[in-house]
Amino acid sequence: MLKSLVLLFLAFSAMFCQASVVLNGTRVIVEGAKKEKTLQFTNTGDQPALIQIQAINLNNHSVPPFVALPQIFRIAPEAGQTVKLNVTENNLPQDRESLFYMDYTEIPSLKKGLEDKNKLYLIIKNRVKVIVRPNGLNFSMDNLKNALSYHIQGHDIVFRNASPFYANIRSFALVKGNNRVPWHEAVTLAPFSEQRITLKGQSSLQGYTLNAVLINDFGADERINVNEK
């Protein structure tokens, strides 16, 4: 019973803790020719916050090819902070985009007068995609849309991305008449790649068309019809 009460208290306290520092944009696109990007952070809360930035490479254990300066900084309430993200690697592929991640962790400050109070504060970590786009790749959403296709193999959907760009699909659905088979998990298709997704519990997927929600460079949704090939 005591354990349940403690868990309930923690859950109730956590409801009052939310991120106050936001990044302008849901993803970072770095043009290869410039090799740098200026990021804007804003503290929308009423207390100072400490922010720590970390570059992440999920593909291997090598050092990520970019740095953010400053890596640690304090933001006053209702104030902003610019951060320079610089690409440090010269040997990234030039025929396609490269994908990395950036974590920024928000450490809230204690309100004055509450230092000795029993209060739960959460350290909040956010992760955003960092896409390095080589010079010479003429990106357009139309080119990306036309390069996406799919085909059905039994209960599997096989997506194909024939473009040099990352395709970020928020969700998709198979539609046939009044029947709709939704998929609510995000799908990231690497350049020149295929990805297989199994839809269980469906007797047949033949005759369906595929509608998807594609995320553009600005983080906005674009609804598209994916071609079957």
Whether residue 38 is contained in a domain is answered as yes
- Among 133, 153, 186, the domain-final residue is 133
- pLDDT at residue 15 above 50? no
> Do 118 and 195 reside in the same domain of the chain?
no
- Among 105, 133, 161, the domain-final residue is 133
> Do 126 and 22 reside in the same domain of the chain?
yes
Whether residue 11 is contained in a domain is answered as no
CA atoms of 174 and 152, how far apart (whole Å):
11
> Do 178 and 125 reside in the same domain of the chain?
no
> Do 111 and 162 reside in the same domain of the chain?
no
Give the residue ranges of DSSP H helices in the chain. 2-14, 141-147
* pLDDT band of 12, cuts 50, 70, 90: very low
> Do 116 and 147 reside in the same domain of the chain?
no
- pLDDT at residue 7 above 50? no
> Do 35 and 96 reside in the same domain of the chain?
yes
- pLDDT at residue 192 above 90? yes
In the chain, the amino acid numbered 32 is G
Q: What is the CATH number of the domain that holds 105?
A: 2.60.40.10
Asked if the peptide bond before residue 164 counts as cis, ω within 30 degrees of 0, the response is no
* pLDDT band of 167, cuts 50, 70, 90: very high
Q: Are 88 and 66 in contact (CB under 8 A)?
A: yes
- pLDDT at residue 162 above 50? yes
> Do 95 and 163 reside in the same domain of the chain?
no
**Which domain does 111 fall in, by range?**
17-133
- pLDDT at residue 114 above 60? no
Whether residue 8 is contained in a domain is answered as no
Whether residue 147 is contained in a domain is answered as yes
> Do 28 and 121 reside in the same domain of the chain?
yes
Whether residue 5 is contained in a domain is answered as no
CA atoms of 70 and 84, how far apart (whole Å):
7
Whether residue 10 is contained in a domain is answered as no
Edge-to-edge strand ranges of the sheet holding 49-56:
27-31, 124-133, 98-108, 49-56, 72-75
- Among 133, 162, 196, the domain-final residue is 133
| H helices, E strands: number in the chain | 2, 17
For residue 54, give the nearest of 104, 98, 125 by alpha carbon.
104
> Do 183 and 115 reside in the same domain of the chain?
no
The answer, as to whether pTM is greater than 0.75, is yes
pLDDT tens figures, 31-85? 988 899 999 999 998 889 999 999 998 876 678 899 999 999 999 999 999 999 9
Say how many domains are in the chain.
2
Segment holding 37, helix H or strand E: strand 36-43
> Do 22 and 49 reside in the same domain of the chain?
yes
Whether residue 6 is contained in a domain is answered as no
